[in-house]
Amino acid sequence: MQLQAIDYNSPTAQEDFVKSLRETGFGVLKNHPIKKELVSAIYQDWQEFFADDSKYDYRYNVGPQDGYFSPKVAETAKGHTKRDIKEYFHYYPWGQCPEKQKPLLEQYYGEASALAKELLAWVEKHSPADVAKHYSQSLSSMVDGSQQTLLRVLHYPPLKGDEELGAIRAGAHEDINLLTILPSANEPGLQVKSKDGTWMDVPCDFGTLIINIGDMLQEASGGYFPSTSHRVINPEGADKTKSRISLPLFLHPKPEVVLSERHTAKSYLHERLVELGVLPA
């Protein structure tokens, strides 16, 4: 299985994209509306943020989860024992954000959320009737007016050799939300698990966008759209000295949205954050 980039402007983009999501949990888009100059400017802005000790002034708020998570409090992937080797900042329009980094991040948040919503509408339009009948409301209306969509700026520091044995940049996990949009990072390392259990590299041509299904869409679609495991592996050799920045946007529904007979978005998110060790039970 190889992930082929799909041209956003192609006449068959919608069908090709939804087919890729269905078969692999992932889709890669090229020629999409998000400018790569915006993404690279954000990467630069945040290299500065993570390099400066004033980042500790933005320590995350435990309940709402906005702000800076240092490597000491970074999440531990479900089923793992070692924390991921990363630090990150959680941006919400209502949350804390340093003034210098705010304008571009806010702009990106708006553009990426709008694109994510459009892609969710593609998913809905190409869902078979027997899958769509389980959606408690239209997928795109699930995110209308949502305050929960999260933009995460991730920094994986260069490896120094003193990392815990067995720790990796991001342990294998599935995302919690409906859809995730991720611009190709500035360094490789992202891998996705294929159906036969092998790990494949996700292409990291700067300028492409990687989209994946999260657990909430898997739940709402009765498993038709798979939330696929992915991870970020550690660099080797000379690449160890390089840091890596990435910028996933996690599209979240409103808390009261019914995902399935078992879960609302709120109950599901709470259960998952406790499992990740970032919320007290």
Ligand X SMILES: O=C(O)CCC(=O)C(=O)O
Residue holding tokens 């459009």? 118
Nearest distance, CB of residue 248 and ligand X, angstroms? 5
- Cα–Cα dist 66/158, whole Å: 25
**Is 219 a binder of Fe ion (CB under 5 A)?**
no
Closer CB to Fe ion, residue 235 or residue 248?
248
> 190-193 and 199-201 as β-strands: parallel, antiparallel, unpaired?
antiparallel
Closer CB to ligand X, residue 123 or residue 190?
190
**Is 84 a binder of Fe ion (CB under 5 A)?**
no
Nearest distance, CB of residue 249 and ligand X, angstroms? 10
Helix runs in 74-225, H state only? 102-125, 129-132, 139-143, 215-220
Cβ pair 276, 145 in contact under 8 A: no
Nearest distance, CB of residue 130 and ligand X, angstroms? 30
**Is 215 a binder of Fe ion (CB under 5 A)?**
no
- # binding residues, Fe ion (CB under 5 A): 1
Nearest distance, CB of residue 182 and ligand X, angstroms? 6
Cβ pair 52, 101 in contact under 8 A: no
Nearest distance, CB of residue 129 and Fe ion, angstroms? 30
Which DSSP state fits 165?
Answer: T
| DSSP codes of every residue in 210-252 | EEEE-HHHHHHTTTSS----EEEPPP-GGGGG--EEE--EEE-
Q: Which residue is nearest to ligand X (CB)?
A: 246
CA 267 to chain centre: 20
Q: Which residue is nearest to Fe ion (CB)?
A: 175
Per-residue interface string for the shown chain with Fe ion, residues 168-187, x marking contact by CB under 5 A = -------x------------
Chain contacts with ligand X (rule: CB under 6 A): 152, 154, 170, 175, 182, 185, 190, 230, 232, 246, 248
Binding-site partner at residue 153 among Fe ion, ligand X, none, CB < 5 to 8 Å by type? none
Q: Which spans of this chain sit near Fe ion (rule: CB under 5 A)?
A: 175
